[in-house]
Amino acid sequence: GAVVSQHPSRVICKSGTSVKIECRSLDFQATTMFWYRQFPKQSLMLMATSNEGSKATYEQGVEKDKFLINHASLTLSTLTVTSAHPEDSSFYICSAIPPNRNTEAFFGQGTRLTVV
Partner 1 sequence: AQTVTQSQPEMSVQEAETVTLSCTYDTSESDYYLFWYKQPPSRQMILVIRQEAYKQQNATENRFSVNFQKAAKSFSLKISDSQLGDAAMYFCAYGSARQLTFGSGTQLTVLP
Nearest CA among 87, 84, 79 for reference residue 34: 79
Stretch that binds partner 1, among 14-22, 70-78, 80-88, 105-113 (CB under 8 A): 105-113
Q: Under the criterion CB under 8 A, does residue 28 sit at the interface with partner 1?
A: no
**Least distance from C-beta 27 to partner 1, angstroms?**
16
Contact yes or no for 112/91 (Cβ under 8 A): yes
Work out whether the CA dihedral 96, 2, 21, 111 comes out positive or negative. positive
Q: Which is nearer to partner 1, 3 or 72 (CB)?
A: 3
Q: How far apart are CA 96 and CA 10, in angstroms?
A: 20
Stretch that binds partner 1, among 11-19, 65-73, 79-87, 93-101 (CB under 8 A): 93-101
Q: Under the criterion CB under 8 A, does residue 93 sit at the interface with partner 1?
A: yes
Q: Under the criterion CB under 8 A, does residue 73 sit at the interface with partner 1?
A: no
Stretch that binds partner 1, among 16-24, 64-72, 74-82, 88-96 (CB under 8 A): 88-96
